[in-house]
Amino acid sequence: MEKIKHYTIPVFVPELACPFQCAFCNQEKISGHQNIPTEKEITDSFDAYLRSFRETNRHVEVGFFGGTFTGIPLAEQENYLRLVQPYLDAGTIHGIRLSTRPDYINSAVLSILKQYRVTTIELGAQSLDDEVLKASYRGHTARQVEQASEMIRDAGFDLGLQMMIGLPEDTLEKSLATAQKIIELGASNTRIYPALVIRDTAMHQWFRQGKYKPLSLEEAVEWSRPLLLMFEKARVNVIRMGLHPSESLLDHTDLVAGPFHPSFRELVLTQIWKELFIPLLRENKGKKVEIQVPAAELNAAIGHHSENKKILLRHFHEVKFVPVEKLKNRNFRLTILPDQE
């Protein structure tokens, strides 16, 4: 059976409604979208994206990101959502997802979103530890996340809960507890964002004053590894790991410090496979080996910039990776190859 390809057409509405200024947030700099798009620009982008999609067996969503969507004046919310309706009717777009805050969810909001056929609501939970939320100026409590999540699920929407690691007062244990709570709250999807120091934020000031230290890239990868494994085991789809690389982040114009990497998820997957390969280094030293891995995991097994293969090559004379469709998850087979005369 042909696998369905999932696409999301992003529409960024930065800082349209959010009256809060979280310690980590400068939405314009993070999103790279400083102008509010016109209705024509939005529908033109729908058409352009749809023309670019190659797979015919696909599921396409529009995603309203960047601001607190349900805090926008109701008439503006409806204007944005109305733009998608003809595409839903035509079957070229199949759903709508949006991101908002847990304290901007109520039964009236959910009723309108249901009317306009919104399918997924993502909440920027960031943490489910009240100390972390308070220290980060989030302006809501963990209990409010729980209440909003329950309302969203009861209303029949798919629930997304985003989390951020390495915020002020955060620890690995607190992040693991947040991930467990996200699972328990019934989220079908999540995003894992390492906290970054963005210019002109409270965390930028604290960083300059020596009051806040972000995670190193290595620490962020090490924290994210068990989080990803937890979510995979619970069948919670991790949509994204790490911020999308906008130009201002790539050239460090607005990124002051923190564990940003354009291929952050690849680094985490590399580390997961590295842990699986470590037992191989305890035996068979000097041999030529073939490692059969799931075809979908080939690149991750070899590692970012072939990191895992290079580690194995310091132990084995020759390492050959072979993709095998029948292998699933992260199961692999090691075969010792005969020496050739």
Domains present along the chain, CATH in parentheses: 5-262 (3.20.20.70), 270-337 (no CATH)
d(CA 168, CA 207): 11
What residue type is 57 in one-letter code? N
User: What pLDDT is stored for residue 245 in this prediction?
Assistant: 65
pTM of the model: 0.89
Q: Mean pLDDT per 10-residue run, the chain (341 residues)?
A: 83 64 64 69 96 92 87 89 97 95 92 97 94 91 96 97 96 98 98 92 92 96 98 97 70 84 96 95 83 96 97 93 94 85 49
Q: Are 162 and 50 in contact (CB under 8 A)?
A: no
Rounded to whole angstroms, the Cα distance separating 227 from 271 reads 13
User: Coil, strand, or helix at residue 158?
Assistant: strand
Contact (CB, 8 A) for 259 and 289? no
Coil, helix or strand at residue 168 = coil
Q: Is 174 buried (19+), middle (13-18) or exposed (0-12) by CB count in 10 A? A: middle
Contact at 8 Å (CB) between 71 and 104? yes
Residue 102 pLDDT: 92
